[in-house]
């Protein structure tokens, strides 16, 4: 039984040696360079933080988000201010003895309703904001994908990936297409009229 394992190990070792010699002699080359020859592997990358900093559509989105956040904050502050005014009014009425028990209970209900309305409105605004962000991010992603598909017709990369720190530990700048991508995206981008 031991002889069978020895023979099997010799066969496997010979097969691995054959494959290793074939691979290193160039018959099974894996390359990270521009090539359209069958059986080659080519990869390019772009730096997502540069796209975020230089693609005009992303800049527009950031401005839109800042405006939406400001409007949401203003609306919530206005609601909170109104609730605070009602609370102060009822507090003043109670301290001067101008409220009876039923009026005090009604005031409590009104203040709880105002608080509930604020909470519901905040949730609705957050949901609208999240939906808006998701739709716009998908739009940006679609534009990047569409451009890369067109771009790759003349470059023949097997993969084009987004470089993000912490995900890759080494990159060769030879295959960095960030500048091409930013220029192409911005050339195609038509700003929306606000």
Are residues 44 and 103 both part of a single domain?
yes
Are residues 155 and 107 both part of a single domain?
yes
Distance, CA of 50 to chain centre: 14
Are residues 151 and 109 both part of a single domain?
yes
Q: For position 130, what pLDDT does the model report?
A: 96
Query: What are the tokens at 118?
Result: 């604020």
How far apart, in whole angstroms, are the C-alpha atoms of residue 158 and residue 32?
Answer: 9
Residue 18 has pLDDT above 80, yes or no: no
DSSP 8-state symbol, 94: H
Q: For position 147, what pLDDT does the model report?
A: 94
- E-strand spans in 49-167? 159-163
Are residues 8 and 42 both part of a single domain?
no
Residue 44 has pLDDT above 70, yes or no: yes
Residue-wise pLDDT tens digits, 115-151: 999 999 999 999 999 999 999 999 999 999 999 999 9
Residue 12 lies in a domain: yes
Are residues 122 and 167 both part of a single domain?
yes
3-class secondary-structure state, position 158: coil
Percent over 90 (pLDDT), the chain: 54
Please name every residue paired with 161 in a beta bridge, in sequence order, or none if there are none: 45
Are residues 15 and 93 both part of a single domain?
no
Query: Could you tell me the CA-to-CA distances from 23 to 18, 28, 149 in Å, in that order?
Result: 9, 5, 31
The count of domains in the chain is 2
Which is more confidently placed, 4 or 57?
57
pTM of the model as a whole: 0.67
Domain that holds residue 97: 31-188
């Amino acid at each position: 039984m031991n002889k069978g394992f020895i023979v099997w190990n010799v066969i496997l070792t010979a097969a691995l040696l054959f494959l290793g010699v074939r691979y290193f002699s160039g018959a099974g080359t894996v390359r990270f360079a521009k090539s359209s020859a069958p059986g080659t592997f080519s990869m390019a990358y772009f730096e997502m933080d540069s796209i975020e900093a230089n693609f005009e559509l992303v800049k527009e989105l950031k401005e839109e988000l800042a405006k939406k956040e400001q409007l949401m904050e203003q609306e919530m502050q206005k609601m909170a201010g109104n609730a605070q005014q009602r609370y102060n009014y009822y507090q003043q009425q109670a301290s001067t003895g101008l409220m009876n028990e039923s009026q005090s209970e009604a005031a409590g209900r009104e203040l709880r309703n105002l608080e509930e309305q604020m909470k519901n409105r905040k949730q609705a605004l957050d949901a609208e904001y999240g939906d808006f962000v998701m739709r716009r991010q998908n739009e940006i992603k679609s534009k990047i994908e569409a451009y890369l598909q067109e771009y790759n017709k003349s470059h023949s990369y097997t993969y084009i990936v987004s470089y993000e720190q912490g995900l890759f530990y080494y990159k060769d700048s030879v295959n960095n297409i960030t500048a091409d991508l930013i220029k192409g995206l911005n050339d195609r981008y038509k700003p929306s009229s606000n």
